[in-house]
Amino acid sequence: MRAVSRLSPGRAGVAFSWTPARPSKLKTNNLAKAQGILKLYDAMKEQVISLTHSRYAIPALDWIFRWPIFKSTDFVKQTGIPAPTARRILKCLRDSKICTTMMAARGRRAALLVFPQLLAITEENRML
């Protein structure tokens, strides 16, 4: 700091000049990901409603977008959807390949499910 203060006032300004950053590749990637997520949500909303014919389709979809990798028991407990309905919705999502089984249920261990379309968007750079 002392070296900067010894500089003439004109040169001190140059030492700390700031230029606005150009839109970076990261910002562009994040924008593309956000747009991709919104498109996916809109497409899934229509599809899940038509598959389940349930008034809980949107809350279920919202929960899955928040937790793209989840245990089936967590879905049933945390969504606030009645348990039989939640299990039926999960079955519809699995049968239609919207959610896939990452690890099958075994004994007392719940199945681990994944929403691969969302992960493909959000984890694009990590998968390459």
For 52, the domain range is 28-123
pLDDT tens, residue by residue, 49-91: 999 999 999 999 999 999 999 999 999 999 999 999 999 999 9
- Domain containing residue 62: CATH number: 1.10.10
pLDDT of residue 127: 52
pLDDT of res. 39: 97
Cα dist. 92→88, 99, 123 in Å? 6, 9, 25
CA-nearest of 71, 70, 113 to 95 is 113
CA pair distance 95, 89, nearest whole angstrom: 10
Q: Give the chain's domain count.
A: 1
19 falls within a domain: no
CA separation for the pair 80, 66 (Å, rounded): 14
Per-residue pLDDT, 128: 46
Residue 102 belongs to what H/E stretch?
A: strand 100-103
The verdict on residue 64 lying in a domain is: yes
Residue 13 lies in a domain: no
98 neighbors 91 (Cβ within 8 angstroms): no
Does the model's pTM come out above 0.95? no
- 21 domain residue, yes or no: no
Contact 82, 92 (CB under 8 A): no
**In sequence order, what are the residues at sequence separation of 6 or more whose Cβ sits closer than 8 angstroms to the Cβ of residue 64?**
70, 75, 93, 99, 115, 118
Q: Six-digit token pair at 89?
A: 């919705």
